[in-house]
């Protein structure tokens, strides 16, 4: 199946049901009107001279116009290239040049940046997101399952942009996984306050594929988020870890009627356990835990009901659930499948897995081997099929021939009462190869010295795991998704004391 066929089917099944609600003005598009607008834009893009496989970049916020371009381009046999608005002009230009993008659709708030990019990227045409291209009843093209649908960039490096190739087949297979996992139904309402590049758009599309309604509410504002959950009687939402932290700091969830809310989906691997337990106390056991990567989105899922039992909750928040229906997971250690309960690299196989990396055949051959995607994540699969992520293979610190996981150093540091957060990384050392360094954020009003924290770690860690360098910082460098940016941590640690 392709994206156009999926939206056409939605329009046939639920023509008059609300599909998209714009929380800014209350505007509503039902499934028939939404699909027709998507297809109208697709036809307009083809009439504008674009053809099969041409790349169309999108730079915008969480609005209906963004989705019209996103789905419109794919339904017309074009390839969407979502840009992260937070990246610098250098980083965005590098991605546009690498993708060989012919067109950039941009929101009005990014008009200046778009003009700057057009001056730097040869042949790039600009179009406003807010465009009325009319309506059509059918898509402009019928791309095959193996046709490219999207190029999703996984990093902002200007030197070596890396784009994941998502086909129509892998995208619709991922949607099937999500629909089965989330348990949303026709009439259910999802509130979205996440940026739509590139992961949130697939969760939104899965909600539509289930016949549900999506409320698009712009940029995240904690109090307004809770007000809208209550106003629209939302049954589900999706958050990144930074949103969760702000909700706990800035709001009182008990002051809002969230009786309809069944699921708040999060990627919990990046959430400290104490924060997660505090969130459950504030919102109740409503959190669905997902595991996926750009190359294999939504591979595992743990539904909210697993968190209902306080006796097993502490263990459950460290797990990411079982593989979804169309996904296989295996753990590999030293080239062999590891027995249950043994740590190793997480490998994923399934129709939802990406086709490879754009114009990087050697990297593709090394990561996608024998039908399996090698994630680079370390994990443990227990005897009941539940997966726990323990770290990143590339983040393992190797000191004196021994391996150290940053997570175990971070746990030791965070057990000190003065420490709010910590991030460990390996630093080059001529004698040991690497030594352990750590960036530390202290709790408000608390005090501790580097020497005190090193001594504290010595009590629970082997000597070679103890951090030798500690730097205090106002915050840990993290991505939008809450993942620690180890390269920036290393740079921070390398600064003179």
Q: What pLDDT, on a 0 to 100 scale, did the predictor assign at position 268? A: 56
345 in a structural domain: yes
Q: Which of 365, 393, 421 is the last residue of a domain?
A: 393
CATH code (residue 486): 3.30.300.30
In-domain check, residue 473: yes
State pLDDT tens for residues 302-327: 999 999 999 999 999 999 999 999 99
- Are 48 and 62 in contact by the 8 Å Cβ rule? The answer is no
Count how many Cα atoms sit within 13 Å of the Cα of residue 453 in the half-sphere of its side chain: 31
Residues 168 and 244 in one domain: no
| 18 lies in the same domain as 160 | yes
Is 350 domain-assigned?
A: yes
pLDDT per residue as tens digits for the range 127-159: 999 999 999 999 999 999 999 999 999 853 334
CB 256 within 8 A of CB 230: yes
pLDDT at position 273 = 85
Taking a C-beta distance cutoff of 8 angstroms, is the pair 394, 367 a contact?
Answer: no
Beta strands in 325-444 (DSSP E): 327-333, 336-337, 343-350, 356-357, 368-369, 372-381, 387-392, 397-399, 402-404, 419-429, 433-442
At residue 95 the predicted structure's pLDDT band, cuts being 50, 70 and 90, is: very high
Number of compact structural domains in the chain: 3
The mean pLDDT of the chain is: 94
Q: Are residues 429 and 343 in the same domain?
A: no
Least confident of 64-78, 320-334, 344-358, 472-486: 472-486
Pairing of strands 372-381, 368-369: antiparallel
> Do 400 and 389 fall within a single domain?
no
Same domain, yes or no, for 293 and 354? yes
pLDDT, one tens digit per residue, over 248-287 is 999 999 999 999 999 999 985 567 788 899 999 999 999 9
Within a domain: residue 349? Answer: yes
Q: Decide if pLDDT at 497 tops 80.
A: no
Across 351-378, average pLDDT: 96
Percentage of the chain modeled with pLDDT above 70: 98
Say what the pLDDT of residue 265 is.
95
352 and 427 fall within a common domain:
no
Q: What gap in Å lies between CA 244 and CA 287, rounded to an integer?
A: 11
Query: What confidence score (pLDDT) does residue 300 get?
Result: 97
Residue 109 maps to a domain:
yes
Pairing of β 79-82 and β 55-59: parallel
Q: How far apart are the first and last CA of the chain?
A: 57
pLDDT at 158: 35
Strands 336-337 and 327-333, by their bridges, are: antiparallel
Strand partners for 128: 106
Label residue 91 by pLDDT band (50, 70, 90). Answer: confident
39 and 112 assigned to the same domain: yes
> Out of 84-93, 370-379, 392-401, 433-442, which region has the weakest mean confidence (pLDDT)?
392-401
Indicate whether 125 belongs to any domain: yes
- 413 shares a domain with 349: no
Residues 385 and 404 in one domain: no
The average pLDDT across 451-461 equals 94
Look up the CATH number of the domain holding residue 255: 3.40.50.12780
Residue 36 lies in a domain: yes
Do residues 149 and 274 share a domain? no
Q: pLDDT at position 181, please?
A: 94
With b for 16 or more beta-carbon neighbours within 10 A and e for fewer, the 43-66 pattern comes to: bbbbeeebeeebbbbbbbbbbbbb
**387-446 pLDDT tens trace:** 999 888 888 898 887 878 898 899 999 999 999 999 999 999 887 888 999 999 999 999
Give the pLDDT mean for 79-94. 92
Residue 16 belongs to a domain with what CATH number? Answer: 3.40.50.980
Which of 360, 393, 426 corresponds to the end of one domain? 393
pTM over 0.85, yes/no: yes
Does residue 99 carry a pLDDT above 70?
A: yes
Q: Are residues 472 and 329 in the same domain?
A: no
The pLDDT of 375-385, averaged and rounded, is 95
Please tell me the least confidently modeled range out of 16-20, 46-50, 257-261, 475-479.
475-479
Domain assignment present for 63: yes
- Which pLDDT does position 155 carry in this prediction? 55
Residues 219-256: tens digit of each pLDDT: 999 999 999 999 999 999 999 888 898 999 999 999 99
Decide: 236 and 264 in contact? Cβ < 8 Å: yes
Closest C-alpha among 170, 163, 94 to residue 359:
163
Q: What is the span of the domain harbouring residue 363? A: 220-393
Helices (H), ranges, 59-183? 64-75, 89-99, 111-120, 168-182
Contact 75, 28 (CB under 8 A): no
* Residue 44 sits in the same domain as residue 23: yes
């Amino acid at each position: 199946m392709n994206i156009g066929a999926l939206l056409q089917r939605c329009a046939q099944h639920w023509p008059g049901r609300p599909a998209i609600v714009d929380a800014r003005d209350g505007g509503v598009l039902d499934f028939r009107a939404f699909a027709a607008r998507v297809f109208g834009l697709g036809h307009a893009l083809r009439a504008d001279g674009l053809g099969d496989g041409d790349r169309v970049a999108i730079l915008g916020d969480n609005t209906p116009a963004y989705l019209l371009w996103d789905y419109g381009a794919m339904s017309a046999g074009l390839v969407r290239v979502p840009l992260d608005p937070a990246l610098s002009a250098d980083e965005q230009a590098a991605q546009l040049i690498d993708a060989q993008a012919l067109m950039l659709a941009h929101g009005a708030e990014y008009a200046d940046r778009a003009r700057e990019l057009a001056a730097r990227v040869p042949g790039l045409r600009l179009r406003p997101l807010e465009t009325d291209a009319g309506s059509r009843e059918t898509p402009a093209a019928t791309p095959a399952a193996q046709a490219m649908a999207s190029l999703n960039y996984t990093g902002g490096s200007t030197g070596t942009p890396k784009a994941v190739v998502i086909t129509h087949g892998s995208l619709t297979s991922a949607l099937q996984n999500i629909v089965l996992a989330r348990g949303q139904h026709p009439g259910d309402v999802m509130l979205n306050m996440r940026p739509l590049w590139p992961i949130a758009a697939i969760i939104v599309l899965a909600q539509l594929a289930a016949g549900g309604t999506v409320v698009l509410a712009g940029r995240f504002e904690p109090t307004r988020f809770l007000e809208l959950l209550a106003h629209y009687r939302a049954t589900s939402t999706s958050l990144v870890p930074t949103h969760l932290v702000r909700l706990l700091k800035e709001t009182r969830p008990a002051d809002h009627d969230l009786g309809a809310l069944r699921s708040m989906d999060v990627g919990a691997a990046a959430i400290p356990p104490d924060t997660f337990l505090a969130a459950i106390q504030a919102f109740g056991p409503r959190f669905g835990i997902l595991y996926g990567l750009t190359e294999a989105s939504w591979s595992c899922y743990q539904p909210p009901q697993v968190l209902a039992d306080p006796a097993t909750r502490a263990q459950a928040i460290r797990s990411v659930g079982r593989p979804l229906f169309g996904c296989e997971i295996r753990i590999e250690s030293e080239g062999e499948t590891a027995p249950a309960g043994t740590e190793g690299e997480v490998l994923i196989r399934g129709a939802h897995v990406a086709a490879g990396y754009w114009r990087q055949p050697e990297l593709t051959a090394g990561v996608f081997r024998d039908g399996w995607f090698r994630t680079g994540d370390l994990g443990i699969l227990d005897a009941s099929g539940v997966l726990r992520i323990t770290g990143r293979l590339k983040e393992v610190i190797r000191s004196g021939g021994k391996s150290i996981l940053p997570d175990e150093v971070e746990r030791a540091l965070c057990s000190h009462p003065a420490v709010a957060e910590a991030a460990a990384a390996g630093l080059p050392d001529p004698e040991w190869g690497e030594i352990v360094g750590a960036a530390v954020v202290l709790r408000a009003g608390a005090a501790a010295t580097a020497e005190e924290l090193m001594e504290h770690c010595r009590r629970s860690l082997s000597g070679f795991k103890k951090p030798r360098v500690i730097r205090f910082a106002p915050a840990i460098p993290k991505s939008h998704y809450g993942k620690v940016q180890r390269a920036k941590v290393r740079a921070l640690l390398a600064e003179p004391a």
